[in-house]
Amino acid sequence: MQSFIPTKRTLMGPGPSDVHDRILEAMARPTLGHLDPEFQRMMEELKGGLRALFKTENAMTFPVSAPGSAGMEMCFVNLIEPGDKVVVVKNGVFGERMRENVVRAGGEAVMVEFDWGTAPDVSKVAEVLAANSDTKILAFVHAETSTGVRADAAALCALAREHDCLTIVDAVTSLGGLPVEVDAWGIDAIYSGSQKCLSCTPGLSPVSFSERALARVRARKVPVQSWFLDLSLVMAYWDGTGGRSYHHTAPVNPLYGLHESLVMLFEEGLEESHARHAVMHEGLVAGLEDMGLDFLVHPDIRLPMLNAVKVPDGIDEAAVRAHLLQEYDLEIGAGLGPLAGKVWRIGLMGTSAREENVELCLTALADALGKQQMHVDGLKALEAARKAMSDD
Ligand SMILES: *Cc1c(COP(=O)(O)O)cnc(C)c1O
């Protein structure tokens, strides 16, 4: 075998996004023991940083040692007991993954489905909750990465409260790029991922649980079926108050990386980071629209960090992505499910949400479309994008 030396790509897909050098450097620092007092101090700071990021006082806020899907599973397996009814909002891939989690945890999933590319209609969710008064949990995706749609998280959480059920919220793609207000919105269980707007490497999932959620966990009659994701066991390690004990070996160096990503986020400012995502999105929109391309999602509900762009008629979408990768070392995403072959998904997440990336993407796309006889003026599109990014 020989050392693996990957090519330096620009990552503008649905995640992972570009990882900042500062984060990679942090991860290359000496590995400490996972119970070393110095490491434990870092853990406490990390938990505090995540609370500030999630805008919560929840003590039970920490990173799960596994990717976003594990954070998702931790929320579902701890809060659901066999037979529990869970209303799941689905308007893309990740709502379906929530349904899978409900069923595998022994719950009953009641689905409220919306067309891909549209937002959940809060009044329709209200009807379903009213018709299912024994619902224990409402679960929904804040930022649906498969379509680029934002859900009205505040309204859905308020609705759940009215119907006296807990909420499980997927904030994998939104956290760091859009406001997420755990306490103000009354979210009970939330999970995110390190590799999207937090610009860290993949493999960690920040989560937070409210007191109401913890009361539900403590009142369980059936033990959590997963040993690794059982909140009460994991907390023996992450809760520093009663002394820490070994549960699993924490991924020490990746946690340095997440810590550094929070340091960088707070240096910039959370609001400033949200604003940067919005401005880069406006630049990309201006450039792509100048090239005559259309967006899948209505502007009112578009995500800034995930842009679903319609593939023009007659264009081979896979060939465009291949050209970008080969000639520009640039990765963008393909459509999933019913959107396969119909859209590209262009990510502007974390470190990837910057002017150079917007400009590279427009230049590369204009070239790739030209190769397929769709001639667009790349320079004019760049000008439109630059104007939109400097206006703000
Ligand atoms: C990426 C993503 C996940 C899954 O995260 P992994 O780290 O890939 O496991 C879950 N939900 C949404 C909305 C995502 O975008």
Substitution site in 98, 145, 191 for ligand 1 pocket (most atoms within 8 Å of beta carbon): 145
Tell me what pLDDT residue 56 has: 98
Gyration radius from the chain CA atoms? 21
Give per-residue pLDDT as tens, 60-80: 999 999 999 999 999 999 999
Q: Is the pLDDT of residue 96 over 80?
A: yes
Q: How far is CA 48 from the centre of its chain?
A: 20
Tell me what pLDDT residue 242 has: 78
Closest residue (by CA) to atom 3 of ligand 1? 68
Determine the distance separating the centroid of ligand 1 and the alpha carbon of 309, expressed in angstroms: 20
Q: What confidence tier does 250 reach under pLDDT thresholds 50, 70, 90?
A: very high
Q: Is the pLDDT of residue 272 over 80?
A: yes
Q: Is the pLDDT of residue 208 over 80?
A: yes
Q: Is the pLDDT of residue 105 over 80?
A: yes
- Name residues whose C-beta falls within 8 Å of residue 151's C-beta, 6 or more positions apart in sequence: 89, 91, 119, 120, 140, 141, 142, 143, 144
Domain spanning 21-266, CATH architecture: 3-Layer(aba) Sandwich (3.40)
Domain boundaries defined on the chain: 21-266, 270-391
Tell me what pLDDT residue 243 has: 84
Instruction: Name the nearest CA neighbour of 90 among 121, 63, 56, 126.
Output: 121
Tell me what pLDDT residue 240 has: 80
Q: Is the pLDDT of residue 392 over 80?
A: no
> For a pLDDT cut of 70, what percent of the chain falls above it?
99
Domain spanning 270-391, CATH architecture: Alpha-Beta Complex (3.90)
Give per-residue pLDDT as tens, 166-187: 999 999 999 999 999 999 999 9
Tell me what pLDDT residue 241 has: 83
Which position has the token pair 């649906």?
Answer: 144
Closest residue (by CA) to atom 14 of ligand 1? 172
Tell me what pLDDT residue 221 has: 96
Helices (H), the chain: 21-27, 37-54, 68-79, 93-104, 122-131, 153-162, 182-185, 211-218, 231-238, 252-268, 270-290, 317-328, 355-371, 378-391
Check if the beta carbon of residue 89 is closer than 8 Å to that of residue 95.
Answer: yes
Determine the distance separating the centroid of ligand 1 and the alpha carbon of 383, expressed in angstroms: 34
> What is the Cβ-side half-sphere exposure of residue 366, based on CA atoms within 13 angstroms?
20
The reply to whether the predicted model has a pTM over 0.75 is yes
Closest residue (by CA) to atom 5 of ligand 1? 68
Is 345 marked within a binding site? yes
For residues 278 and 283, give the distance between their C-alpha atoms in angstroms, rounded to a whole number: 9
Substitution site in 64, 89, 94 for ligand 1 pocket (most atoms within 8 Å of beta carbon): 94
Check if the beta carbon of residue 146 is closer than 8 Å to that of residue 336.
Answer: yes
Q: Is the pLDDT of residue 110 over 70?
A: yes
Mean residue pLDDT across the chain: 97
For residues 160 and 170, give the distance between their C-alpha atoms in angstroms, rounded to a whole number: 15
Give per-residue pLDDT as tens, 280-306: 999 999 999 999 999 999 999 999 999
- Name residues whose C-beta falls within 8 Å of residue 271's C-beta, 6 or more positions apart in sequence: none
